[in-house]
Amino acid sequence: MTRDLLQMEEVKRLVRDAYRDVPASTAAVARRLYAADELAAVPEVAVNRSLGVANHLRHADIRPGETVLDIGCGAGIDTILAARRTGPDGLVIALDFLPEMLERTQEAVRAAGLANVRLVEGEMEALPLADDSVDLVISNGVVNLSARKARVMAECARVLRPGGRLCIADLTVEQDDLPPRIATHPTAWAGCLAGALSEAAMIHKLSRAGFRAVRVVHREPLGVDECALYPLFSAEVLGLMRDLPPERRRRLAVAIVVTAELPAADDRAP
């Protein structure tokens, strides 16, 4: 029998189990990240299960008529906001590997009365989409969950058209920054913390995948009080976080928003 030396299957199983039945968070995460007028446009089913780490859409410059891919759409909060910005001539492809999450997005899309959203079940490591088919990739608190981040970034570059853009939000931690008992805790992986890259590694991997103009456009520290808003971290791991010195407890990670673009067709090497 072949062995999965990168433990990818184990990581995927852990993530699927964590998100399949994730309880509604009573909108605490959404209220922290989005303004009241943004939330007014989003059905409750999506607001109550918002699990992202930042409001990257403020930096995404979504234009009417664009095709946007939302990787790891979850219950659909960013899909809904993006679909309103692309307008009826645009399209948002809402991708998630859990049918349960796609059902929640479907419910939100129906409640919002939107006809420009396509739901796709698939994995971010092998996007079931054609090359050069998307104008903009967005993703909020998802890439960290993969054990194959370079592969995910290569897939983003493959599906984007020449000149296409990327705008993703995720947590970063500086190398060896997390105490081992937290870094190795399964619920810390499901909470996007244990799998986090350093900011420099994130930028490096995006550049290696072919992106240019890679810029960190937003940074926001995340401490134990913010982690406790997510119904993902266990009481045990939150307890380990609370035992840390106050300065560390207030800054376990930094949520960042990164923007990048692919070279335009005429800028590509022959």
Residue numbers 84-123 binding ligand SAM by CB under 6 A: 96-98, 101, 123
Q: Is the Cβ of residue 57 or residue 178 nearer to ligand SAM in the bound state?
A: 57
Structure tokens, 136: 């903009």
Q: Is the Cβ of residue 53 or residue 182 nearer to ligand SAM in the bound state?
A: 53
The CB-of-13 to ligand SAM minimum distance in angstroms stands at: 11
| 113 DSSP 8-state letter | T
Q: Is the Cβ of residue 123 or residue 261 nearer to ligand SAM in the bound state?
A: 123
- What residues contact residue 34 under an 8 Å CB cut-off, 6+ apart? 42, 50, 55, 77, 81
**Residues 127 and 152: beta-carbon distance below 8 Å:** no
**x/- map, 166-195, ligand SAM, by CB under 6 A:** --------------------------x---
| CA distances for 127 relative to 80, 163, 267, angstroms | 21, 19, 25
In angstroms and rounded to an integer, the radius of gyration of the C-alpha atoms of the chain is 18
Phi, psi of 167 (to 5 degrees): -145, 105
The CB-of-198 to ligand SAM minimum distance in angstroms stands at: 20
Nearest by Cα to 133 from 67, 194, 177, 184:
67
Enclosing H/E stretch for 170 = strand 160-172
**Residues 155 and 125: beta-carbon distance below 8 Å:** yes
Total of residues contacting ligand SAM (CB under 6 A): 23
The answer to whether residue 145 forms part of the interface with ligand SAM (CB under 6 A) is yes
The answer to whether residue 238 forms part of the interface with ligand SAM (CB under 6 A) is no
Which listed residue (25, 48, 55, 140) binds ligand SAM by CB under 6 A? 140
The CB-of-14 to ligand SAM minimum distance in angstroms stands at: 10
The answer to whether residue 77 forms part of the interface with ligand SAM (CB under 6 A) is yes
Q: Is the Cβ of residue 51 or residue 258 nearer to ligand SAM in the bound state?
A: 51
The CB-of-180 to ligand SAM minimum distance in angstroms stands at: 23
- What residues contact residue 234 under an 8 Å CB cut-off, 6+ apart? 185, 187
Which listed residue (43, 72, 164, 195) binds ligand SAM by CB under 6 A? 72
Q: Is 77 helix (H, G, I), strand (E, B) or coil?
A: helix
- Cα torsion through 24, 108, 98, 233, rounded to 10: -20
Q: Is the Cβ of residue 106 or residue 263 nearer to ligand SAM in the bound state?
A: 106
Choices 48-56, 159-167, 206-214, 218-226; region in contact with ligand SAM by CB under 6 A:
48-56
| 145 DSSP 8-state letter | G
The answer to whether residue 60 forms part of the interface with ligand SAM (CB under 6 A) is no
| Interface positions with ligand SAM (CB under 6 A) | 15, 19, 50-52, 72-74, 77-78, 96-98, 101, 123-125, 140-142, 145-146, 192
